């Protein structure tokens, strides 16, 4: 048997803007005991904007992060990734177009995102937190959970002082403000940190406080309840957390399944027993890659390059997390006011995380669909690709086996990219992708 190449240390979340996996909906991410616990959620307020305000001495000024300028007229393009509170007060919102933001406020300052800078600041924050609590979960670059069970039997005043001390320490050491929520469920601690932004501290230590502060919130504030699930809940007369608690879990099981429905309801009711997860305990259940092209295209070769780029990044992250998949989805978005585009699913012959197997099956279904769109004179604007279901076991299959030489090729490629930077070695077909840069920094 051919010995496997050592790929070195992976960096799977490089250029991932926001970690969106739900880390407390799975049973293996929850404590088996039902004893009461205490959680702290820390949210760095408008993180990217705060960092840039500090770096360029722009305190008090409206700024937004994201987008780029195009052409001699310096027309803003792209979307607002985040904005300062001063900009939000003027009506600037995340996901708004940069053009619209500058129409609302002509003197707003638009800056490019600098993820290397934000990652560096995030490491400093994590270092402070790890000195403050024994177990810290980095939920994203600007959000953290702390296990503070050691405060469970302390007085309210002592718990409040702990939160205030942590908030003050972050400001003293890093120069940035944050909001903190402390509660008896992980979900509720996250909801609590949103109540008094910016620079707030909110404690919800019993059911009466939850009834007053959290229960009036809309259900889509809770993890796992997005736009579609919220619409389904509203169709059944459920709009607020109080509505969900009053109706009980059977309606959630009816709408979302026996397993997931019950867990969603437990989160709504503050009854989840989630663990504060360190990096070693995080389990990825789905991965995806999404990209809006710099300019729309009608060139099938360019779209193929974009698909290859997405598969390359997706496969790298799967290998980093030690997972494989057999079922995948792909979506091709179009530039049209009435139509979003088309999506499809495809299967590989077995569980894999190697680019070639995924690309072959994807393009076999994608080519005729893309051609049909182009034949109708649509221009293509974005693509998404991701896993439908992943496997963590790594067990060999009876009727499918990856080519050992191909696997070693990708492990060797990973080793070089892990050592010298992502993209040092890549597929030639990616060079055919839509012209323009993906990274905000490179669009200046």
Q: Which residues are catalytic?
A: 143
Measured at the CA of 320, the angle between CA 317 and CA 325, to 5 degrees, comes to: 60
CA nearest to 429, candidates 355, 377, 343: 355
Measured at the CA of 163, the angle between CA 160 and CA 165, to 5 degrees, comes to: 105
Q: What are the structure tokens assigned to 152, written together?
A: 């469970």
Strand 178-183 versus strand 39-44 pairing type: antiparallel
The residues near 370 (Cβ < 8 Å, ≥ 6 apart) are 300, 303, 332, 380
Of all helices (H) and strands (E), which one includes residue 334? strand 324-334
Length of the chain: 444
Measured at the CA of 196, the angle between CA 193 and CA 197, to 5 degrees, comes to: 85
Q: What is the three-class DSSP state of 357?
A: helix
Q: Using alpha carbons, list the distances in angstroms from residue 419 to 4, 40, 313, 422, 423.
A: 17, 35, 16, 8, 11
């Amino acid at each position: 048997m051919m010995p496997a190449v050592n790929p070195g240390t992976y960096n799977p979340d490089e250029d991932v803007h926001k970690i969106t996996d739900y880390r407390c909906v799975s049973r293996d991410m929850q404590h088996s005991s039902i004893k009461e616990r205490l959680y702290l959620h820390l949210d760095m307020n408008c993180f990217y904007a705060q960092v840039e305000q500090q770096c360029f001495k722009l305190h008090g000024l409206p700024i937004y992060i994201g987008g780029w300028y195009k052409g001699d007229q310096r027309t803003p393009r792209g979307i607002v990734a985040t904005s300062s509170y001063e900009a939000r007060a003027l009506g600037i919102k995340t996901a708004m177009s940069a053009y619209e933001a500058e129409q609302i406020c002509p003197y707003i300052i638009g800056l490019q995102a600098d993820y290397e800078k934000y990652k560096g600041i995030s490491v400093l924050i994590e270092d402070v937190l790890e000195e403050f609590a024994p177990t810290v979960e980095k939920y994203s670059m600007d959000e953290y959970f702390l296990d503070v069970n050691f405060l469970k039997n302390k007085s309210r005043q002592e718990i409040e002082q702990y939160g205030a001390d942590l908030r003050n320490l972050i400001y003293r050491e890093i120069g940035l403000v944050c909001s903190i929520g402390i509660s008896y469920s992980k979900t509720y601690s996250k909801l609590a940190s949103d109540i008094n932004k910016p620079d707030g501290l909110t404690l919800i230590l019993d059911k009466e406080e939850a009834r007053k502060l959290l229960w009036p919130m809309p259900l889509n504030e809770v993890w796992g309840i997005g736009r579609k699930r919220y619409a389904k809940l509203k169709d059944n007369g459920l709009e607020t957390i109080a509505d969900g608690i009053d109706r009980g879990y059977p309606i959630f099981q009816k709408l979302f399944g026996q397993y997931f429905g019950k867990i969603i309801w437990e989160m709504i009711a503050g009854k989840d027993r989630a663990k504060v997860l360190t990096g070693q305990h995080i389990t990825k259940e789905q991965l995806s890659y999404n990209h809006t092209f710099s300019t729309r295209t009608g060139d099938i070769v360019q779209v193929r390059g974009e698909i290859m780029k997405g598969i390359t990044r997706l496969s790298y992250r799967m290998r980093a997390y030690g997972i494989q998949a057999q079922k995948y989805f792909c979506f091709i978005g179009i530039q049209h006011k009435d139509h979003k585009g088309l999506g499809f699913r495809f299967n590989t012959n077995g569980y894999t995380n190697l680019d070639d197997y995924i690309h072959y099956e994807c393009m076999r279904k994608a080519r005729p669909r893309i051609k049909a769109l182009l034949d109708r004179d649509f221009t293509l604007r974005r693509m998404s690709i991701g896993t439908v279901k992943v496997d963590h076991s790594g067990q060999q299959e009876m009727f499918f086996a990856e080519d050992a030489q191909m696997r070693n090729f990708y492990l060797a490629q990973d080793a070089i990219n892990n050592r010298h930077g992502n993209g040092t070695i890549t597929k030639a077909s990616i060079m055919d992708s839509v012209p323009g840069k993906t990274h905000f920094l490179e669009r200046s």
